[in-house]
Structure 1
Amino acid sequence: MIYEDIKNFSKQFEWRPKIENGEPGGFQKFIVVGMGGSNLAADLVKILRPDLDIAVHRDYGLPKYLDEDTLVILSSYSGNTEETLDAYEEAGRRGLPRIAVGAGGKLLELAKNDGVPHIKFPESNIQPRVALGWSLLALLKIIGDEKLLEESATLAEKIKPEIQEEQGKKLAEDLKNSTPIVYASHRNKGLSYFWKVSFNETAKTPAFANVLPEQNHNELSGFENTEKFFFLFINDGNDNPRILKRMEVLKNLYNRRGFKLQVLELQGSPLERVFSSVLLANWTAFYLAEGRGVDPDTNPSVEEFKKLIQ
């Protein structure tokens, strides 16, 4: 049950990932291949390590520009994601260095048979988007960031899911009859996108995300008058002062127009800021699903689509 998964989220940081079949070392460039919840951790790594050369590929195959200096990280929680398996095969054909991450399935089976390095998640029925702690730890292990790995271990005690639960419940009530739109700085793009997909998958509701300053140059014009949307602003005091000014001006503009909005302040260390927001997103989406009378655990539309394309 997703409720228990969210409630026990902080326990994920007790896990210590282990790379089987040898550890690929010495890489300075990375590309994470994954779909849905299996690529979300890469966006969070970008927030925590803005200096790192890491790209995300959400498609079949692989970009043509890749060479042997870039480590291909193939991430599929189920291990059976069609696009990721296709990229695994292409990486093999092109002789690109690769490593697989997942809970099992065909991906890890191929990696074991091919002698490819891989990391296996703990046994669980957890939803991929809620397994974000494990996913992040696996990526940190692969990129060799021991400092962040050590710091992440403290989140098992520092992150308190019950604190975000009440806030999420209240926010879900505010959002009950609205379509969420989440804004953040470009640096925190991964967080705004996580909020969006949590609303989509858990609450079964349309949701949208955008970043500043780009929003100010186009999307802003689309909201001259609206009562259907609820705007969530992810506010990070560590953002560029010019972005903070744009965020403040945009909030004031929307307030004057009577738009519904709420500011979500990021606090604590970089890891705490990221995962407190992740937890709040999970709780908000869960209680929004409950308030709308939909099942937060299943994704029937996605499963139906998968069957139709077979």
Structure 2
Amino acid sequence: MMHEELDDIPRMTRIDQSKMIKYILEFPNQLRTILDSYNSYEPFGVEDVCICGVGGSAIAGDILSDYLFDISTSPVFVMRSTHLPKWVRKDTLVIVVSYSGNTIEALASFKDALRRGCRIVCITSGGKLMEICHSLSLQYLELPKNIMPRAAIGYLLGALAIVLDREGIASIVSELKSKLSELESYVRVCSPEIPSNSNEAKKLAKRLYGHLPVICTQRNLRAIAARWQSQINENAKMLAFHSEIPEMNHNQIVGWLEGEYGPECLPVFLRGSSTDSVLSTMIDVTIRMFERSNSNAVIVDIPGEDILSCILNGIALGDFVSYYLAILKGIDPTPIHSISELKSNLSGHLIID
């Protein structure tokens, strides 16, 4: 039955009334479009970076911060709060990322950066954030409008890459461009037209359906695990959590292998390229222990010859999996009523002057 549901394109179209699949398929093109479009950014010449944002607007920061961990000599910190860390100073570049331009946390951090006299650049599609940028003549990168933040991952990732590249933090733009053909090919093999018996994303969705997945992965892919969790949360309206190796091997592994948990709990290991032989060994040994314990662990080997390929392919795969889970449940992936209600409730209590 599940096989038929995920290969029934007319049914999928009826369920996906808001056309989330359109944006998942557009991920490579979003990246290509924005990477080719911005040539006017004027760098400040900074040495450290603080990226401010939450939710779908912040995940691109996590992805690039983790990727740059082994590449850049400059610290790139992602901050999900309403004020900046104490170490942020006037010479720090504060990148405020809010797709809507109206996110309470981002606006509060933005005002804090203004008070401290920081170097500031914003990434947004409009809202109050863009209005203030106009009024103060601050630099900003404008994103296409009318997209759910989580569906604009290509634009957000590309915009952040442009800023970090122009600031000399890392030569990330050319690296991303070199991966686009590979990413486009991978997106095609995960697309709805590819039948379930040949579609890794559909197979994984069927494995995860009816469970509470805990996405476990290596340190340099932890942002991808976080993306999987949030996409499953929002698109499939399911509980999901994530964890990282080696940290989980010092606590969570005991609960999995010695404790008791319901049959709905399902460990899902994402494994990808790593130049760290110690970490690779830890991952392989951990997976073997889970397999011997009959934990029914799901092992996902993300394709890619290097970590950047794994990151991009991992984003695409997780987005498709979350989408197919929504289709299996018969729900439109796009609406997020709980978050909308929370924002509405907060708006009456919080005003950012």
Q: Tell me, yes or no, if the aligned pair for 1:178 and 1:229 is still in contact at 8 Å.
A: yes
Paired residues for 1:74-113 under 5 Å = 74-113=96-135
Shift of 1:190: 0.9
Query: Secondary structure, in 3 states, of the residue corresponding to 1:268?
Result: coil
1:168 pairs with 2:188: no
**CA separation in 2, counterparts of 1:136 and 1:215?**
28
Query: Following the alignment from structure 2 to structure 1, what is the Cα–Cα distance between the partners of residues 222 and 137?
Result: 35
Mapping for residues 272-291 of structure 1, pairs under 5 Å = 272-291=309-328
Shift of 1:261: 1.9
Residues of 2 paired with 1:61 and 1:19: CA distance?
Answer: 30
Q: Percent identity at matched positions?
A: 27
Aligned to 1:12: 30
How far is 1:133 from its partner?
1.6
Q: Give the C-alpha shift of residue 239 in structure 1.
A: 4.6
Partner of 1:243: 279
Matched, 1:57 2:75: no
Cα deviation code 1:179-225 (max 9, x no counterpart): 11111122221111111111111111111111111101111122234
Verify the 8 A CA contact 2:273 2:307 in the aligned structure 1. no
SS in 2 for 1:80: coil
Alignment counterpart, residue 152 of structure 1, candidates 152, 162, 176:
176
Shift of 1:309: 1.6
Q: How far does the alpha carbon of each residue in 1:56-83 deviate from its partner, in whole angstroms, 9 at most, with x for none?
A: 1101021122112210000000110011
Show the counterpart of 1:39. 58
CA offset at residue 257 of structure 1?
A: 2.1
Shifted more, 30-39 versus 90-99: the winner is 90-99
Contact 1:185 1:239 in 2 (8 A): no
Instruction: Check if 1:142 corresponds to 2:175.
Output: no
Q: Give the paired residue count.
A: 308
Is 2:32–2:177's contact at 8 Å kept on the other side of the alignment?
Answer: yes
Aligned partner of 2:14 in structure 1 is none
What CA distance in whole angstroms lies between the structure 2 residues aligned with 1:120 and 1:237? 33
Q: What letter is aligned with 1:142?
A: V
Per the TM alignment, residue 147 of structure 1 is displaced from its structure 2 partner at its CA by: 3.6
Normalized against structure 1, the TM-score is what? 0.93
Residue 19 of structure 1: CA displacement?
7.0
CA drift at 1:44? 1.2
Contact 2:272–2:307, Cα closer than 8 Å, also in 1: no
1:250 shift after superposition: 1.9
| Pairwise CA distance, 1:295 | 2.0
Q: Work out the CA distance in 2 between the residues paired with 1:64 and 1:142.
A: 23
Match of 2:233 among 200, 222, 240: 200
Give the unaligned 5+ runs of structure 2.
1-18, 192-198, 348-353
1:257-281, Cα deviation, whole Å (9 max, x unpaired): 2212222223234332111110000
Cα separation, 1, equivalents of 2:281 and 2:27:
34
Give the gaps of 5 or more residues in structure 1.
none
| SS of match in other structure, 1:273 | helix
Could you tell me which of 144, 147, 151 is aligned with 1:130? 151
2:67 paired with 1:48: yes
TM-score by length of 2: 0.82
- Following superposition, the deviation at residue 158 of structure 1 comes to 2.5
1:115 paired residue number: 137
Q: Are 1:19 and 1:118, in contact at CA under 8 Å, matched by a contact in 2?
A: no
Distance 2:135 2:39 in 1: 15
| CA offsets 1:116-155 (integer angstroms, 9 cap, x no match) | 11000124x3322232221121112112257421232344
The 2-side partners of 1:37 and 1:25 are apart by 26
The answer to whether the 8 A contact 1:17-1:119 is kept is no
The secondary structure found in structure 1 opposite 2:213 is strand
Relative distance call for 1:19 and 1:67 in structure 2 (3 A) is farther
- Pick closer, same or farther for the CA change 1:156–1:247 going to 2, 3 Å: closer
Kindly report structure 1 stretches of 4+ aligned residues shifted beyond 4 Å.
Answer: none
- What is the CA–CA distance in structure 2 between the aligned matches of 1:275 and 1:90, rounded to whole Å? 33
